Structure formats: structure tokens, C-alpha cells
Amino acid sequence: MKLSIASVLLSLVLVSVSARPLDSRQTRKNSNRKQMGNASGVAAGAAYFITNEPDGNFIVAADIGNDGKLTLRRAIGTGGLGEHGITDPNGPDPLFTQGAIKASSAANVLATVNPGSNTLSLFTIDPNDPTNLQVIGAPVGSGGEFPVSLAFNKDGSQLCALNGGAINGVNCFAVDKQRGLVSLANTNRALNLNQTTPATGPAGSVSHIVFSEDGQTLVASVKGVPPTPGFLAAWAVQQDGSLSDDFQKIDPADGGLLPFSMTVIPGKNAILATDAGLGFDIFDFGGNASSAVKIDGQSATCWSSFSKKTGNFYLTDIGTSIVTEVNVDDNLTGTIVKQYAQGQGTATIDNDIVTVGNNDFMYVLAANATTIDVLALNAPGKAQTIQKLGVAATAQKANLKLSAFNVQGMTTFVRQ
């Protein structure tokens, strides 16, 4: 790999510095709600991200129309605080992760991290009005420090959290729609990383947590500290939801360096992981087809999602603000299909893909622009940007504090 390590790490944070600076931490709780707009019809679903502000974390919720376009509706306080990780220079992607907020369409619930409080919050989703979130119980301790990523199991009955601070590792909860999140025995498992609270990164920080396709393995990704590569940590999930005592450490193929987001490759017992130091890695858990694939000209490719309609993966790069479409064939060979520029300096971070009717749409949080970019995934190699939804002006009118350096996460819900 010819790219210098210094340029890789700087590209994760060297983006436009137009955002407002962080305010000093306060301890105010924020259980209030803010109206951001009116419904424009019956919503097919909703898209959500978090403000992650140190003096009060809010969920920003937008309706998804049948045409895939978004309408801002509400901001809902989580009852917890946001926080920005330690990095120099400061910039977007404050948690160095994917999955800070997650919805389960199967269970009609949504959960979010509150990194500054070391807590998690749980909400019910009204399928007929999916931005109308109702909190379940009080925020609960995450089982560690600086929680940054969440994963629901397939039916939404279990939630696992990834903590990235000085006390780091995973912890899981039963999802109780009356009481909220209930800690599960024998699921608090340490990674034993040498970290701080808040976490220092991006190098050496945790990245993402996911369940395997069959639900029998819980996987967390950890970035390397160059020149030492990162790894995946995998725990076996028992029938009662408990985890194996120790994790299996899985190294990337030669060339892999900073595994970030993880997206399951359907039917293959494998994962595509973005790699901020290279492009992306393929982890083959059932064979020997693992690989590290370079994206020419990439800066920091960190987030990913899969489209059922096109059968391809879509990756975002915070430094180049480009969406890269990737195909993974039956032999687990990854190739680049096409790239889609989203605007220089917009800092495209978290993304998610949802199916509405017979169409797939991708939602990308462009942090520096404080927009959500919407792409229609019409066919392989045929993605088209159909909307750039500005959030900042609407947030200001609603008296919602929102800054480019703090926003994080992207998750979607569709009525089943």
C-alpha cells in the first residue's frame, strides 16, 4: 500500500472545519420533544440520526415517503448526553463508529447510545407514525464507558452494545417493551483495549457491532494502530442470549489495517468490512477467501450498507465524500462497480439502505453539509441522487442544537 499512514489517519478528521465548536459539557437531562415539520402524507417508514451534543442528545427523525424522499418531522430527547471522542484535529465522525442508533422493524423499537452518559435509551416506534417515538423506561448503563455502537438480533428481542472507552467491550440486554432494556447475564465481555474515556481515535478505537446472519455469533470490529492491523472479535451466542467467555480474534487478510463498519454478505458466512486505510476487507469465516481490496484514491472509507435490490454494497468515504458501489461474487471476490460523488467537503459518514415497495433507497449523513443525501438504487451501477435534505436551518428554527462535528448514525425503519 503506497498511501502514507499519516495521510490515512489525518484523512479521517481533516475535513472542512465549518462547524460550530463544541460547547462545554452540562448535565441537563433532555426529555423534551421538538417539532421540525408536518407530515406530507402517509409515511412508508422513517430515517433517524443523533445530534450527540454534550449538553443533550436528540434523535432527529424524518418520514420516508413512498418515493424514498424524506420529510423532517421531529427531534426527540434521549434523556442522555452526547460526547466527542479525542482526536486532533477535531472533526466529524465523533464516535469513530457505525451503528450509534439502530431500529428494529421486526420489533418496532429503536435504541441509541448516549456516549457522554455511558447509557443507552430505548423507544417504541409507531408503525403508522414512525417518527413518533415513545421512550420505554429510563436510560440504562451500557455496561462500560463511551458506548458507540448497537446491534439488534433478528427479531429485535435482544440488543447488544459496544463500549469504546477505558472500560471497553460488549454487553447485551433483553428488550422489554414495558420495562425497557434489561441486562442479560453472562454477556458483559471485555476487549481489554488500552483506551481512554472518551475514546481516543480513530486509530485503536472500536468500530461496529453486528450479529452474524444466523444470529449465532456477535462480532465487533477494532481498528489497528499502524503499522499493527486491527481485528474482528467474535463471541458465540448461546440459546439464552449469553456469550462465550472469550472472543475469537480474526485478523484481516494481508494489507488490511483499519476495519471499520461491517456488513453481512448474505448466504456466505462472511462479512464485508470497510477499511479506512485501504478500501475494504472481506472476512471469510467458513473458508480461505478473505481479501483486502484497495479503492484507488480513497481517503477514509468507513461506512457500508447492502442493497437487496441491486445485490451490491455501498460504501461512504468521509474524506472524498464519495459513495462507492461494490459487488461481491459467489467466490467472495470484491470489485468496484461505480462511484458517486456527493459534493467535495461534505464529509459523508453513516449510511443505511431501505426497501420501499420494489425500490431501494440509500440515506447518507453528510456531516459537514448537515444534509441527508438520498440515492435511489435503481439497478447495479445506476444509483441516482434524488434529494439533499438540509437539516441545519430547520433545526435552528426548532431551537435544536446541531453541529457538523457531533452528528452521528443513520438507521431506517419500514412498516412491515
pLDDT digits (tens, 9 = 90+) for 163-184: 999 999 999 999 999 999 999 9
Grid cell of 373 as nine digits: 443525501
Between 7 and 131, the higher pLDDT residue? 131
Q: What is the pLDDT of residue 330?
A: 98
pLDDT digits (tens, 9 = 90+) for 49-70: 999 999 999 999 999 999 999 9
Q: What is the pLDDT of residue 40?
A: 86
Measured from the Cβ of residue 216, the count of other Cβ atoms closer than 10 Å reads 11
Does residue 72 contact residue 389 with C-beta atoms inside 8 Å? yes
383-390/348-356 β-pairing: unpaired
In this predicted structure, the answer to whether residue 12 has a pLDDT above a threshold of 80 is no
- Residue 24: pLDDT band (50, 70, 90) is very low
Element (H, E) at 3: none
State the SS3 of the chain: CCCCHHHHHHHCCCCCCCCCCCCCCCCCCCCCEEECCCCCCCCCEEEEEECCECCECEEEEEEECCCCCEEEEEEEECCCCCCCCECCCCCCCCCCCCCCEEEECCCCEEEEEECCCCEEEEEEEECCEEEEEEECCCCEECCCCCEEEEEECCCCCEEEEEEECCCEEEEEEEEECCCEEEECCCCCEECCCCCCCCCECCCCCEEEEEECCCCCEEEEEECCECCECCEEEEEEECCCCCECCCCEEECCCCCCCCEEEEEEECCCCEEEEEECCCEEEEEECCCCCCEEEECCCCCCEEEEEECCCCCCEEEEECCCCEEEEEEECCCCCEEEEEEEECCCCCCEEEEEEEEECCEEEEEEEECCCCEEEEEEECCCCCEEEEEEEECHHHHHHCCCCCCCCCCEEEEEEECC
In this predicted structure, the answer to whether residue 28 has a pLDDT above a threshold of 80 is no
How many Cα atoms sit within 13 Å of 119 on the Cβ side?
17
pLDDT digits (tens, 9 = 90+) for 211-238: 999 999 999 999 999 999 999 999 999 9
* Rounded CA separation 363/12 (Å): 20
Grid cell of 162 as nine digits: 459496544
Cβ-based neighbours of 236, under 8 Å, separated by 6 or more: 216, 217, 243, 244
Q: What is the pLDDT of residue 41?
A: 85
Q: How far apart are the first and last CA of the chain?
A: 45
pLDDT digits (tens, 9 = 90+) for 37-46: 999 888 999 9
Q: What is the mean pLDDT of the chain?
A: 94
* Phi, psi angle pair for 395, to nearest 5°: -60, -40
Q: Which CATH architecture has domain 5-414?
A: 7 Propeller (2.130)
pLDDT digits (tens, 9 = 90+) for 298-357: 999 999 999 999 999 999 999 999 999 999 999 999 999 999 999 999 999 999 999 999
Could you tell me the residue ranges of all domains in the chain?
5-414
Amino acid at 312: N
Nearest to 291 by CA among 276, 273, 305: 273
In this predicted structure, the answer to whether residue 398 has a pLDDT above a threshold of 50 is yes
* Rounded CA separation 103/23 (Å): 29
Q: What is the pLDDT of residue 27?
A: 34
Grid cell of 47 as nine digits: 430515517
CA-based angle 226:279:339, to the nearest 5? 150
Between 84 and 3, the higher pLDDT residue? 84
| Interval 92-110 mean pLDDT | 99
Grid cell of 200 as nine digits: 481516543
Q: What is the pLDDT of residue 19?
A: 32
pLDDT digits (tens, 9 = 90+) for 126-153: 999 999 999 999 999 999 999 999 999 9
In this predicted structure, the answer to whether residue 2 has a pLDDT above a threshold of 80 is no
